[in-house]
Structure 1
Amino acid sequence: MRFKHFWELAEVYTAPLNIFLVLIGASYAQFQFDASLNVPFLIYTLIILSFHVTVNIFNNYMDYKNASEDHQYKQKSNIIGREHLSLTVVFRYFLFFMALSSVLGALLIWMTSIWLMIPGVVGFYIGLFYSAGPRPLNSLPIAETVTALASGYFIPLVALYVLVYQEPAFFNSSVMLNVLLVCLPLVLMMFNNLLANNTCDLEEDIVNHRKTLVYYIGKHRAVRILKFNFIVSFLLLPTLVVFDKAPWPVALLVLILPLLLRKLQPYFTKQDKQKTFPLVLMTMSVLMMGYPCLYLIGLFF
C-alpha cells in the first residue's frame, strides 16, 4: 500500500483535531489545578492518535464490505475499491494499529488507575461499532450525539484525569460537569460535522440502509440545527469567560462569527459533499483549533 493510500484510508489529515481535543483538557487542568505535563499524558496522546487511525481504517473497511451493489459507492467513493486495495492488507493494518492502541492503553492503566478501563472500553466500543455489527452506530439517529460526546467531551476529560490522577480530590462530579461546559462548544462542532456529513450523504445512506438523524428530520431541519449549534458554540465562549471557566482570550473568537456564517451560506443553500461540505469543515476547524489554542495562550495572562 502506498503512503498516499494509507493517508486517505486512515484519514491521517484529520488526526490533528484530536490533538486539539487533548489540548483543551490539558489547558483546563493547568487553568484550574496548575497541573503539569507527565508521561501518562504523552502516552494518552499517542493512544488517541493511534486509535484515530485504527477507527478510520476499520470504518472504511466495513463501509466497503457493507455497501450495497445498487450504486457505485464501492467503485467511486470508497478508497479501497477506488484504488483496488487488498482487503487482507487493509485488515492487517487495522489489526496492527488496534494492537498498538491496546498495548498503550494497558500501559496507561497500569501507570494510572484501573478506573481508566471504563472510558477505554466505552471508547473502543463506540469507535469499532460505529460501522460494524448488525446495527452499526453510523446507521442510527443517535450517531451524531454519541460520537460528538465521546470525542468532544470524553477525550478532554480523560486528558485532564491523567494529569491530576495523583490528586484524587481534584477529580469529582463537579469537575466533570465543568469540563462538560468547557467542552460544549467542541461537542456542538463535532455534532455539526457528522450532521453535515450525513446530510450530504442522505441519498447514498438510504441506499445503504442507514437511517441517520437526517433521515428522520429531513435536510431542511438538519441545516437549521447545524446553524443554531454553530451560533451557540461561539456564543458560549464569552459566557465561559464570564463564569471563570476559561481565560479571556477565548472570547475573541466570537468576533469572527458573522464572517464564518457568511462563508457557510453556500452550504445553507445546497448541501453537496464535494462543493459545500468542505466549507463546514473549514469553519468548524476555526473553533476546533482556535479555541484550545487561545485557551492555552490565555494561561500566560
Structure 2
Amino acid sequence: MSKEKLSFKQFWELSEIYTAPLNLFIILLGVSAAKFIQQLSLSKDLLIFIGIILCFHLSVNIFNHWMDYQHASDLHFKEKTNIIGREHLSISVVKRYFYTFMILAALFGLYLVSQTTIIIGILGMLGFYIGLFYSYGKYPINSLFLAETITSIASGFFIMFIAFYLAIPHREVVNTRIILSLFFISLPLVLSMFNNLLANNTCDLEEDINNGRKTLVYYIGKKHAVTLLLTLTIASYLWIGILVYLKLAPIVTLGLLILLPITLKELKKYTQYQDKKETFPVVLKTMSVMMVLYPIIYALGGFF
C-alpha cells in the first residue's frame, strides 16, 4: 500500500537534501571571486538566490526520481532500486513535494529578475530547463552523451556566475573577459562535478542500457571512462596553478596541490572496480574534497 506521508528518511533520500549544501560552496566561490577580481557589495538579492537554488535543487532531485520510476523498463530498478518503488511512495505525494519546491523557486526567481536584469532571467530559464529536462522528455539529458558536460557546466559555472554577478556593485562591468575568467575559475568545480556524474554512469552502465539510456560511458566504454576520470582529476588540480599564474586565484589555493597524490591513491580502489555501493562513494568523497576546500581556501585568500 502506498504511503500518504513521507518520513524524514524518505524525504532525505527522495530529495537528496544532503547534497544541497554543495551549492552553497559554489555560491561562496562566486562571491569570493567578486572580492578577489572585482569589488564586493553584498545584498539581499544574494540571499534570495540562495533560497532559489536550494528549492530548485530539492525539486529537481524529486523530479528525477519520479521520472526514473515512471519511465523505467527495468522492473528490478523500478521496484528495488528507485526510492519510490522500494518504499511504495504515493506518486501524488511525490508530485506535491515537487510542485511545492518548484513553485517556490519560480516565484523567488521572478522576484529576483524584477530586482536585477534579464541576464539573471535568461540564465535562470536555462537552469530550469536543464534541471527539468535532465530526466524528462523523449530524449532526456541524462540519457545523452552530453549529460555530464551540460549538467556540470550548469551547476558549476552558471550558479557561480550568478553569485558573482549579484555580489558586485557595478554589474555593467561584466563583459566577455570577465565571463571567460569566471569560467576558468569555476573549472575545478565543473570537472569535479563531471567526474561525479561520469563515475555514477560508469557504475550504472548496464542498468542504464536496460533503461534505454546511452550516456558518454556507453560510447567510450568503462575502461576509457575511468581513464578520463583520472585525467580530469589531475587536470582540476593542475589548473589551479594556471589560475594563480593568471592572477585569477589567490596564491594560497596552491596548497590544494598537496592533495593530488592522496586523491589519486584513494581513487585507485575505484579504478580497479566500479561498483555503485562499494567504490562509487570513494569518487564522491574525493571530488567533494575539491568542491568544498577549493571555494573555502579561495575565500580565505580572497578576503584575507
> What is the TM-score when the length of structure 1 is the normalising length?
0.97
Aligned to 2:209: 206
1: CA distance between counterparts of 2:40 and 2:200? 37
1:76 aligns with 2:62: no
The percent identity for this pair of structures is 53
Q: Deviation of residue 248 (structure 1)?
A: 1.3
Aligned to 2:299: 296
Q: Show the 5 A alignment for 1:167-206.
A: 167-206=170-209
Q: Which amino acid aligns with 2:112?
A: L
Counting matched residue pairs gives 299
Aligned to 1:153: 157
1:266 aligns with 2:280: no
Aligned to 1:6: 11
2: CA distance between counterparts of 1:158 and 1:221? 34
Q: Which amino acid aligns with 1:211?
A: K
Match of 1:33 among 13, 38, 43: 38
> What is the TM-score when the length of structure 2 is the normalising length?
0.97
Q: Which runs of 4+ in 1 moved over 3 A?
A: none
Aligned to 1:143: 147
Aligned to 2:64: 59
Q: Deviation of residue 116 (structure 1)?
A: 1.4
Aligned to 1:114: 118
Q: Deviation of residue 34 (structure 1)?
A: 2.3
Q: Deviation of residue 36 (structure 1)?
A: 2.5
1:257 aligns with 2:260: yes
2: CA distance between counterparts of 1:32 and 1:121? 27
Q: What are the Cα deviations for residues 120-144 of structure 1, in whole angstroms up to 9, with x where unaligned?
A: 1110000000000011100010101
1:241 aligns with 2:255: no
Q: What are the Cα deviations for residues 103-133 of structure 1, in whole angstroms up to 9, with x where unaligned?
A: 0001100111122111111100000000000
2: CA distance between counterparts of 1:54 and 1:162? 23
Asked if the contact 2:185/2:243 (under 8 Å) is kept, the reply is yes
Structure 2 residue ranges without an equivalent (≥5): 1-5
Structure 1 residue ranges without an equivalent (≥5): none
Q: What are the Cα deviations for residues 82-117 of structure 1, in whole angstroms up to 9, with x where unaligned?
A: 111100100111000010000000110011112211
Q: Which amino acid aligns with 1:31?
A: F
1: CA distance between counterparts of 2:47 and 2:176? 25
Secondary structure at 1:299's aligned position in 2?
helix
Q: What are the Cα deviations for residues 137-156 of structure 1, in whole angstroms up to 9, with x where unaligned?
A: 00010101100110111110
Aligned to 1:218: 221
Q: Deviation of residue 71 (structure 1)?
A: 3.7
Q: Show the 5 A alignment for 1:121-136.
A: 121-136=125-140
Q: Deviation of residue 300 (structure 1)?
A: 3.6
Q: Deviation of residue 299 (structure 1)?
A: 2.1
1: CA distance between counterparts of 2:155 and 2:253? 20
1:19 aligns with 2:31: no
